[in-house]
């Protein structure tokens, strides 16, 4: 008898060990994340940057979100509404979302459509100062048809209506908690802003702004076996290199976000074998903006102003010459820039719109190979002769470029390379770098903002969220030009204007067929690239690092990097 029992016991133990460990909620202990830019609030609607959106995404969830390939998945909703399944009306003005059954807030109460309606009212209230309010544009009304159905009515037909309640920019807030915090009161609801109640896998235990956030597993999360980690510590501060070090060399942290670091440093750290560097490509393109207007300081008020129908009164002295722009682009060896500054986290980009792949044009790929000889030939033929100092000039105008960007070691390296490359075609360059909060600040009294563009060339990265490029491509229409009269609030920094482009953009806003949208996007992209309104350099990916003991990470450039943190486990 004893023999049988012990055999059975041994068998049971053996089976228990051999079978895959069924993770229980909290069984993997503590997870440590390191975001070197520390979040200052947990309310994404009052966020100061991507870091707040990431932090809040483990607590607050949207109806639908993007996976790592850009596919739209139903998250809190049952299905993604489409015209085919009746979720979107045929005239494209309404969309109806149906919420899954049985979803509870972390305090035990049920999620209802009223919470969704409240979220819309919270952000669209003009006194709230909501940073995500452009996700709630063109909405006529949001109604709760029943406790689990939300109906959104737009003021114009929307071929792509997936902005509200989709992604980490527009999650649902709990009405019971945030009621009374709308409008001007949003500033004072510190308790709610720091400890939002959500449906996500974690809930906030302690929030120290710009320092550390402590979470614990949400007891009312819909999947009882998840999350595998009982405690989550979200530490912030410091710089990117030491963040990489904490994961890859000392192992104190499990995950580090946004490692904008030279590739050789990351490679060396990875050799230690404790962690892995992962990257994913979204829509970010580092590009050179070309100023089509004259930024000469002696023009005073008229610096970088677009005057006249075909801009012949304040045209840039040399950048308005197509040959000069093309020569500048031909002289750049983009592979060197990628190797020196980005490594795995960058690819050459010849388009201002590199992704999603269906929209990427292949008409401009000649930029992948530099051609200094052709650049020199073009400039010679156009009459730009080298002077005694080696700098090309024509009619008293020297090609001397003032090139600005923000302070960042990789950007400064890129500047150094490009300066040297342009020297080979007889172009003189002066480099300038400015603190990011000044360059991107938009302060009207500062002459150094990227909107004012008081230099000849500027460099930065732009992108768009989600997968639909319509708003992004409309950035370069004539009415978007950043000028004094709109307080430099436009998105068209090069001050490039083409009626043909404007027509294409207008057409895209009324085309609903996918093949038409793809064709129009490619045409607009090619028009910009072939006139060298901008010179694209690098398609930048997001780079993070995680410990080798962590599994389940699916690096996502379209949504939060922590989108599937409920599925992460310790190996």
Partner 1 sequence: MIHYIFRRTLIAIPTLLVISFIIFAILDLAPNDPTGNLPMTVPPEVRAKIRSSLGLDEPMHIRFGLWLVQFCVNEPLNLLHEGFGISIGDAENRTRILSWATRSPVVDLIIQRTPQTLWVVGLSYLFGILIAIPIGIVSAYRQYSWFDQVGTFISMVGFSVPTFFTGMVAIIIFSVQLRWFPMIYDTTLVVDSWQNFVSQVKQMIMPVAVLALYNASQLSRFMRASILDNLNLDYVRTARAKGRSERAVLLIHVLRNSLIPVVTLIALGIPTIFSGAIITEQIFRVNGLGQLLIIAIEGADIPLVQTLTFIFAVLIVFFNLIADVVYGILDPRIRYD
Partner 2 sequence: MTENTQSTEIAGDERFPEEELETLTQHRSLWGDVWRQFRKHKGAMAGVIVFIFITLAVSLGPLIQGIEPSAINFSERNFGPTLAHPLGTDNIGHDTLAQMLAGGQVSLAVGFSAMLIALLLGTLIGVLAGFIKSLDGPLMRLTDLFLALPILPLLLVIILLFRDTLRTLYGPEAGIFMLIVFVIGITSWMHTARIVRSDVLGIKEREFVIAAHSIGTRKRRIIFRHILPNILSPIMVSATLGIANAIITESALSFLGLGFPPDFPTWGRLLYDGANFIQITPARVIWPGLFIALTVLSVNYIGDGLRDALDPRLRGR
Residues that bind partner 2 (CB under 8 A): 241, 261-262, 264-265, 268, 297, 333, 336, 340, 406-407, 409, 412-413, 415-417, 419-420, 430-435, 438, 445-448
**Which of 367, 366, 368, 362 has its CA nearest to residue 522?**
362
For 394, 428, 457, the CA distances from 420, given in Å and listed in that order, are: 22, 9, 15
Q: CB-wise, 179 or 206, nearer to partner 1?
A: 206
The site partner of 41 among partner 2, partner 1, none (C-beta below 5 to 8 Å per kind) is partner 1
Sheet harboring 385-386: ordered strands across?
A: 385-386, 392-394, 397-398
**Which of 479, 466, 470 has its CA nearest to residue 510?**
470
Is 443 a binder of partner 1 (CB under 8 A)? yes
As measured in angstroms, the least distance from the Cβ of 407 to partner 2 is 4
As measured in angstroms, the least distance from the Cβ of 270 to partner 2 is 12
- Beta-carbon-side half-sphere exposure of residue 554 (alpha carbons within 13 Å): 14
**Which of 335, 364, 344 has its CA nearest to residue 281?**
344
Give the span between the Cα atoms of 401 and 390, in whole angstroms.
14
Is 214 a binder of partner 1 (CB under 8 A)? yes
For 183-217, b/e burial (b = at least 16 CB within 10 A) is: eeebeebeebbbbbbbbbbbbbeebeeeeebbbbb
As measured in angstroms, the least distance from the Cβ of 264 to partner 2 is 6
Task: Give CA 80 to chain center in angstroms.
Answer: 23
Is 242 a binder of partner 1 (CB under 8 A)? yes
**Which of 205, 204, 168, 210 has its CA nearest to residue 39?**
210
Give the span between the Cα atoms of 416 and 202, in whole angstroms.
45
Is 209 a binder of partner 1 (CB under 8 A)? yes
User: Across the chain, which distance is largest between two alpha carbons, in Å?
Assistant: 107
Q: Residue 30: count other Cβ atoms within 10 Å of its Cβ.
A: 14
Is 383 a binder of partner 1 (CB under 8 A)? no
Binding piece for partner 1, criterion CB under 8 A, among 61-69, 121-129, 324-332, 559-567 = 121-129
The site partner of 433 among partner 1, partner 2, none (C-beta below 5 to 8 Å per kind) is partner 2
| DSSP line for 340-387 | HHTGGGEEE--SS---SGGG---TTGGGGS--HHHHHHHHHHTT-EE-
Is 354 a binder of partner 1 (CB under 8 A)? no
DSSP 550: E
Q: CB-wise, 206 or 430, nearer to partner 2?
A: 430
Pairing of the two strands 400-406 and 428-434: parallel
Q: CB-wise, 241 or 527, nearer to partner 2?
A: 241
Binding piece for partner 1, criterion CB under 8 A, among 32-40, 352-360, 529-537, 542-550 = 32-40
The site partner of 179 among partner 2, partner 1, none (C-beta below 5 to 8 Å per kind) is none
As measured in angstroms, the least distance from the Cβ of 251 to partner 2 is 17
The site partner of 210 among partner 2, partner 1, none (C-beta below 5 to 8 Å per kind) is partner 1
As measured in angstroms, the least distance from the Cβ of 404 to partner 1 is 14
Q: CB-wise, 133 or 461, nearer to partner 2?
A: 461
Question: Can you tell me which of 33, 35, 44, 50 binds partner 1, judged by CB under 8 A?
Answer: 50
Binding piece for partner 1, criterion CB under 8 A, among 23-31, 307-315, 387-395, 448-456 = 448-456
Is 268 a binder of partner 1 (CB under 8 A)? no
Q: CB-wise, 103 or 431, nearer to partner 2?
A: 431
Residues 473-492 contacting partner 1, CB under 8 A: 486-491
Is 102 a binder of partner 1 (CB under 8 A)? no
Look-up of token digits 């060298």: 532
Cα angle for residues 57, 62, 68 (degrees, 5° grid): 70
The site partner of 264 among partner 1, partner 2, none (C-beta below 5 to 8 Å per kind) is partner 2
As measured in angstroms, the least distance from the Cβ of 104 to partner 1 is 28
Q: CB-wise, 87 or 164, nearer to partner 1?
A: 164
For 311, 385, 447, 452, 483, the CA distances from 304, given in Å and listed in that order, are: 11, 26, 11, 7, 8
Phi-psi map region of 108: left, alpha, beta (phi>0 left; psi -120 to 50 alpha): left
Cα angle for residues 133, 139, 142 (degrees, 5° grid): 100
Peptide bond into 227 cis (omega under 30): yes
The site partner of 366 among partner 2, partner 1, none (C-beta below 5 to 8 Å per kind) is none
Question: Can you tell me which of 7, 69, 146, 210 binds partner 1, judged by CB under 8 A?
Answer: 210
Look-up of token digits 């052709």: 374
As measured in angstroms, the least distance from the Cβ of 371 to partner 1 is 31
Look-up of token digits 């089509």: 292
The site partner of 123 among partner 2, partner 1, none (C-beta below 5 to 8 Å per kind) is none
The site partner of 417 among partner 1, partner 2, none (C-beta below 5 to 8 Å per kind) is partner 2
Is 219 a binder of partner 1 (CB under 8 A)? no
- Beta-carbon-side half-sphere exposure of residue 17 (alpha carbons within 13 Å): 5
As measured in angstroms, the least distance from the Cβ of 403 to partner 2 is 10
Q: CB-wise, 371 or 462, nearer to partner 1?
A: 462
Give the span between the Cα atoms of 170 and 142, in whole angstroms.
14
What are the residues whose beta carbons fall under 8 Å from the beta carbon of 255, sequence distance 6 or more? 31, 32, 33, 34, 247, 544, 545, 546, 547, 550, 553
The site partner of 441 among partner 1, partner 2, none (C-beta below 5 to 8 Å per kind) is partner 1
Cα angle for residues 543, 169, 492 (degrees, 5° grid): 80
Give the span between the Cα atoms of 41 and 54, in whole angstroms.
11
Is 262 a binder of partner 1 (CB under 8 A)? no
Binding piece for partner 1, criterion CB under 8 A, among 229-237, 296-304, 424-432, 506-514 = 229-237
Question: Can you tell me which of 179, 239, 365, 430 binds partner 1, judged by CB under 8 A?
Answer: 239
Is the CB of residue 75 less than 8 Å from the CB of residue 63?
Answer: yes
The site partner of 214 among partner 1, partner 2, none (C-beta below 5 to 8 Å per kind) is partner 1
Question: Can you tell me which of 27, 30, 93, 133 binds partner 1, judged by CB under 8 A?
Answer: 133
Q: CB-wise, 225 or 437, nearer to partner 1?
A: 437
Total binding residues toward partner 1, as defined by CB under 8 A: 71
Is 271 a binder of partner 1 (CB under 8 A)? no
């Amino acid at each position: 008898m004893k023999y049988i029992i012990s055999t059975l016991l041994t068998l049971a133990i053996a089976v228990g060990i051999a079978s895959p460990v069924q993770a229980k909620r909290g069984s993997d202990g503590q997870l440590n994340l390191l975001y070197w830019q520390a979040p200052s609030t947990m309310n994404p609607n009052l966020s100061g940057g991507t870091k707040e959106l990431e932090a809040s995404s483990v607590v607050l969830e949207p109806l639908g979100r993007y996976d790592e390939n850009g596919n739209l998945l139903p998250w809190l909703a049952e299905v993604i509404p489409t015209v085919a399944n009746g979720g979107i009306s045929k005239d494209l003005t309404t969309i109806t979302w149906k919420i899954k059954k049985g979803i509870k807030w972390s305090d035990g109460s049920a999620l209802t459509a009223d919470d969704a309606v409240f979220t819309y009212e919270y952000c669209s209230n003009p006194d709230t100062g909501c940073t995500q309010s452009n996700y709630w544009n063109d909405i006529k009304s949001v109604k709760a048809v029943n406790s689990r159905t939300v109906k959104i009515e737009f003021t114009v037909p929307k071929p792509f209506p997936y902005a509200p309640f989709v992604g980490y920019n527009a999650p649902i807030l709990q009405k019971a908690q945030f009621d009374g915090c709308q409008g001007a009161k949003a500033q004072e609801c510190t308790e709610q802003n720091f400890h939002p109640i959500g449906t996500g896998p974690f809930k906030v235990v302690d929030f120290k702004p710009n320092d550390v956030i402590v979470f614990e597993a949400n007891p009312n999360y819909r999947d009882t076996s998840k999350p595998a980690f009982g405690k989550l510590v979200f530490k912030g501060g410091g710089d990117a290199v030491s963040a990489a070090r904490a994961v890859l060399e000392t192992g104190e942290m499990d995950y580090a976000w946004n490692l904008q670091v030279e590739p050789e440093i990351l490679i060396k750290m990875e050799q230690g074998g404790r962690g892995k560097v992962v990257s994913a490509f979204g829509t970010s393109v580092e590009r050179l903006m070309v100023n089509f207007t004259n930024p000469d300081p002696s023009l005073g008020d008229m610096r970088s102003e677009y005057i006249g129908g075909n801009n012949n009164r304040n045209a840039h002295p040399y950048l308005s010459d197509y040959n000069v722009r093309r020569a500048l682009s031909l002289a750049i060896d983009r592979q060197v820039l990628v190797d020196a500054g980005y490594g795995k986290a960058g690819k050459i980009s010849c388009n201002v719109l590199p992704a999603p792949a269906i929209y990427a044009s292949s008409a401009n790929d000649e930029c992948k190979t530099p051609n200094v000889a052709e650049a020199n030939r073009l400039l010679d033929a156009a009459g730009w002769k080298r002077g005694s100092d080696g700098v090309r000039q024509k009619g008293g105008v020297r090609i001397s470029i003032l090139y600005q960007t923000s302070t960042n070691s990789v950007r400064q390296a890129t500047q150094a390379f490009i300066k040297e490359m342009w020297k080979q075609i007889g172009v003189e360059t002066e480099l300038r770098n400015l603190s990011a909060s000044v360059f991107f600040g938009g302060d009207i009294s500062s002459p150094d903002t990227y909107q004012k563009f008081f230099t000849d060339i500027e460099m930065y990265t732009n992108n768009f969220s989600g997968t639909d490029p319509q708003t992004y491509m409309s950035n370069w229409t004539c009415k978007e030009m950043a000028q004094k009269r709109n307080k430099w609030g436009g998105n068209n920094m090069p001050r490039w204007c083409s009626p043909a482009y404007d027509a294409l953009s207008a057409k895209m806003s009324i085309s609903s067929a996918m093949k038409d949208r793809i064709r129009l996007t490619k045409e607009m992209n090619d028009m910009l690239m072939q006139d060298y309104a901008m010179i694209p350099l690098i398609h930048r990916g997001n780079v993070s690092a995680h410990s080798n003991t962590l599994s389940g990470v699916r690096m996502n450039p379209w949504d939060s990097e922590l989108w599937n943190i409920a599925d992460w486990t310790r190996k």
